Amino acid sequence: MLVSFLPLLALATSALAADPKPPALIYLYSINITIPSTVNLGSVPYGSRGILSISGGSFSGPKMSGKVTVGMDWGLTDTKGTFSPDALYVLQTNDNATIMVTEKGHAPNVQILFETGSSKYAWLNTLVAYATGGPTATGVALDVWQVGS
């Protein structure tokens, strides 16, 4: 009985020998998001929350470029000072596709998901993207990569 487990054990040991291969990062675009105003809700149970209106911006990259139309970020700054964005905004590509972006994370690490009805950009609907960046004089700037294939 024991003997039949031995090959499995050997497999498990060799799998542990090397770290798994990390997923590829494929550069999608860089984006400047314009945030003209913030409504501060002040101290809420888990920190301080601001409602940041997104009024525009632009993005540019090897696979897609265009502008930001509208959106909002209701991120929370926790009691330790970490800002966790929680945003939804719309991209309009130069060829007129509209793409909804949902963004969550813990600054400066951001996870992005996309939703679009455009057949040209339908490949965005099934991927997960990683973004990093930070505040600018007029809003936020991020670099965005597709994670994995």
Ligand X SMILES: *[C@@H]1O[C@H](CO)[C@@H](O)[C@H](O)[C@H]1NC(C)=O
Q: Which stretch binds ligand X (CB under 6 A): 10-18, 58-66, 71-79, 125-133?
A: 58-66
CB-CB contact of 128 with 110 (8 Å): no
When binding is defined by CB under 6 A, the residue of 13, 14, 37, 96 that contacts ligand X is 96
> Helices (DSSP H) in 18-127: which residue ranges?
none
* Contact flag: residue 37 with ligand X (CB under 6 A): no
Region for residue 57 given its phi and psi (left: phi exceeds 0; alpha: psi -120 to 50; beta: otherwise): left
Q: Give me the residues paired with residue 109 across strands.
A: 106, 132
When binding is defined by CB under 6 A, the residue of 95, 115, 122, 128 that contacts ligand X is 95
Kindly tell me which of 54 and 76 has the beta carbon lying closer to ligand X. Answer: 54
The three-point CA angle 137-139-145 to 5° equals 120
* Contact flag: residue 59 with ligand X (CB under 6 A): yes
Kindly tell me which of 32 and 146 has the beta carbon lying closer to ligand X. Answer: 32
Structure tokens at 92: 């309009």
Query: Which residues contribute to the site for ligand X (CB under 6 A)?
Result: 30-32, 58-60, 95-96, 141
